Amino acid sequence: MNPCIGHDILPAPCILLPGRLMLYRTVINRLLIKPSLGIVLLLLCWATSVTADTRPTRHIMVSMRPIALLVQELTQGLPVQVTTLLPQGATPHDYALKPSDLRALMEADLVVWLGEAGEPYLEGVVARTGAQIAWSALPGLVQLPPRPALHEDHQGGHDHHHVDSQQGHHHSTTFDLHFWFSVDNAVTLADAVEQALLARDPKLKNALAQNKAALVQRLQQQRDQSRLLLAQAAGPFMLSHDAYYYLEQDLGIQSEGAISLDPEIKPGVKHLMAIKERIEDHKVRCVISDPSVSNALLNKVDTQPPLVRLSIDPLAWDYQGNGFSEWLSSVYVKMVVCTTAG
């Protein structure tokens, strides 16, 4: 008697891939008069299941969550496991590696990080790992320079305010490190990860190409749509932390300034007075806040009526999903709401 017939739950050798169970039972019933052919069919299906279950999983260690979201979306449906090194609540500026972190980095098939400028604590360790991608070192990357606390006027007028020592302090680098807010930079990293994975597993070529094409289309389409909307309705807004220069460039907007250029440096009185003056003079009605800047600091530059506060976490911990394009779309929505708050 065929052990796969007459059972609600099939024995292990009879398990098929999802979606084939009903077809399997129909075919088997018709093959009862040809038991040899039925056995061949069962063996083929069993072999397919084993092959699918034993495909090697590639382990990618990424330094921070925005990178994880991008790599996860690029590799969805593929035998790739993505692990984020930096935990929620930590920053790339002060994180200390644990022994378990070192072990995971050494065991990874690929390490993706910002690079020495953004994550100096990883430099010596990554040099001892296998394949690695430093996002900041990729050819063609868009790199924007740091900007002063008070941003230049849209209309061509240049407000030269003299502010305190916050001026020019962007984590002591020659370019803004928040380059994951640029769609072009995201595509550049996706290209690099794709090539690194193909070097290890060429069989992923078609699936990776399809995933990347869909990812790029989503990113470009939502950027262009948001840019068009903001061109018609954007008003003045302020930043609590200057982390969104690339985002502003992509969307064709410009903030009035930033209350904090570097979360590690406390703004002085002169700086806060200049920010509050800009808010009042330019009739700013909304500020983009993030976890690195306290409400107490925002209160020092607030006005009457109070500013609308919309929070964006530049490290993406305020987003519960797994897709980079979806997270970035949610950021666009908040920017639209903030710039139209007046």
Residues linked to residue 80 through DSSP beta bridges, in sequence order: 58
DSSP 259-294: EES-TTS---HHHHHHHHHHHHHTT--EEEE-TTS-
Residue ranges covered by each domain of the chain:
12-53, 58-339
pLDDT at 160 over 50: no
**What CATH class is the domain 58-339?**
alpha beta
Looking at residue 334, its pLDDT comes to 97
**Closest-CA residue to 255 (of 229, 226, 228, 289):** 289
pLDDT of residue 265: 77
The Cα angle at residue 328 between residues 325 and 333, in degrees rounded to 5: 125
pTM over 0.85: no
pLDDT higher at 183 or 291: 183
Higher-confidence residue: 46 or 150? 150
- Average pLDDT over the chain reads 83
Q: What is the pLDDT of residue 152?
A: 65
- What average pLDDT does range 149-154 have in this prediction? 67
What are the DSSP calls for 3-18, one per residue? TTSS-SS--GGG---T
Cis peptide before 120 (omega within 30 of 0): no
Percent of the chain with pLDDT over 90: 64
Tokens 């100096």 belong to 120
pLDDT at 292: 86
pLDDT at position 149: 77
